[in-house]
Amino acid sequence: MSKFFILIVSAVAVFSAFSCASSKEKEKAAIEELVKNNAALFQKEDLVGYIATLDPESPEIADTKAMMAELFSKYDLKINIESVRVLKVNEDKADVEVDQVTEKVTGGDFRNNRVKIVHHLKKINGAWKIYGSDTIRIEYFDQSVN
């Protein structure tokens, strides 16, 4: 009986390990989808959709909304997400590092750039939202584009 018990316990442990890995991969995929959706909504200049990707409890949301409205009125920008790397994820919080390139299509003076950002995410009602972000590095491609 003890060999049977050990076999069952081993099988449950293996299944649990695969289940946890699968769950973690699903969370990482959902986080990557949020980042890409956030960038796509920015590029479409969909202010309502863009703000919907943010945590409504973020202390930065009012300033972000005002800044995005101003950007959308002055520029048409192209965003390319070069990489997304989940740094840390648990049940309801995550940190994700994003490398993105932003280039002006039309508008006033704008400096095309590559930026490395760490987004701090929170899970709200089962969906990941951006709570806040830290700019790690910004590299300008040229002095200014007219």
Q: Residue 145 domain-assigned? A: no
Per the CB < 8 A criterion, the answer to whether 144 and 111 are in contact is yes
DSSP assignment letter at 125: T
The DSSP-derived string for 33-68 is: HHHHHHHHHHHTT-HHHHHHTB-TT-TTHHHHHHHH
Query: What is the CA angle 53-86-113, rounded to 5?
Result: 70
Q: Residue 103 domain-assigned? A: yes
pLDDT above 50 (res 9): no
What confidence score (pLDDT) does residue 6 get?
A: 53
Q: Residue 146 domain-assigned? A: no
Query: pLDDT tens, 70-120?
Result: 999 999 999 999 999 999 999 999 999 999 999 999 999 999 999 999 999
**SS3 at position 23:** helix
pLDDT above 60 (res 16): no
Q: Residue 35 domain-assigned? A: yes
Q: Residue 63 domain-assigned? A: yes
**Number of separate domains in the chain:** 1
CB atoms within 10 A of CB 34: 20
Q: Residue 46 domain-assigned? A: yes
Q: What is the pTM of this model?
A: 0.81
What confidence score (pLDDT) does residue 105 get?
A: 95
**SS3 at position 109:** coil
CATH code, 11: 3.10.450.50
Tokens standing for 111? 């400096």
Query: What is the domain range of residue 36?
Result: 2-140
Q: Residue 65 domain-assigned? A: yes
